[in-house]
Amino acid sequence: MLVIPVIDIKNGKSVRMVKGLEDKTVFYSESPLSMARLFRKENAKCIHITDLDGAFSGDMINYNTIKEIVDKVGVPIQLGGGIRSFEIAKRLFDDLGVYRLVLGTAVVEKIDLVEKLLAEYSHSKIVVSIDVRDGYFVKTGWTEKTDIRGVELALIMKSMGIKRIIYQDVSRVGTLAGPDFEGLKEIAEKTGLRVTAAGGIGGYPDLAKIQELEPLGVDSVMMSRPIYENRFPCQAIWREAEKVDTSLELPKVK
């Protein structure tokens, strides 16, 4: 199972929102670049970045910070937050150089954008994040609850050509209380899509339980807080033994 570290950026800093609430934010680092380099040093194969400012405003407020990570860290970057127009997506792909984009709010507000991006960049470059609260899709930085059930939206996206979704119950995000296992199982079984689990992972036991869903298509997991807080065997030892010199640029992955 692929583990994808997450860097959430707010006001240029690395943070973690708790339960999808903007006023419950855990601060981690002044430098998202340093966090990305640390994850790269710990052999991350891919890094997910969420532009929280973009998720709320729809603008690329942290563009320069994200570009620095893309240019200097050397692993594929998956990016979400505020991607609500083709022009923004094109700039992120062509100018910024991100590997894959994650759509959220846009899939219910601008469904034609999904069609256009799939036609231009293919399903391998576009992922839809099914963010739910009480089973219903939430949008605009998780602040607005819609009347669309997460499973229903995932099936609509599948009919349009989406092959992978990220699934998370936002009430669990940042809590370390465990992901929504039943929701993960349901959406994987009913859609047949490839699923990346997120939201609430607290440590290795949760990873082991998620891995049991791999035959259903749950093949990867995104997390931040348990990695930041060294909640995995040997992780603290790796970090002590492999100090990151942030003045050095890491080589590009071939």
pLDDT band at 225 (very low <50, low <70, confident <90, very high): confident
pLDDT of residue 118: 97
**Inside any domain, residue 191:** yes
- Is 8 one of the catalytic residues? yes
Number of domains in the chain: 1
**Inside any domain, residue 249:** no
Q: Contacts for 91-98 with beta carbons within 8 Å, 24 or more apart?
A: 91/60, 92/60, 93/121, 93/125, 96/63, 96/66, 96/67, 96/70, 97/67, 97/70, 97/71, 98/66, 98/70
**Inside any domain, residue 105:** yes
Cβ-contact 205, 52 below 8 angstroms: no
- Is 112 one of the catalytic residues? no
Tell me the pLDDT tens digit for each residue of 182-209. 999 999 999 999 999 999 999 889 999 9
pLDDT at residue 115 above 90?
yes
**Inside any domain, residue 247:** no
CA distance 221 to 199: 9
pLDDT of residue 28: 61
Cβ-contact 104, 55 below 8 angstroms: yes
**Inside any domain, residue 250:** no
CATH of residue 48's domain is 3.20.20.70
Token readout for 148 is 């669309």
Give the active site residue among 51, 53, 131, 180.
131
- Give the predicted TM-score (pTM) of the model: 0.86
Q: Which domain holds residue 7?
A: 2-235
**Inside any domain, residue 241:** no
Cβ-contact 124, 93 below 8 angstroms: no
**Inside any domain, residue 252:** no
**Inside any domain, residue 150:** yes
| Sign of the dihedral defined by the CA atoms of residues 175, 177, 179, 180, in that order | negative
Integer CA distances (angstroms), 165 to 4, 45, 63, in order: 14, 18, 24
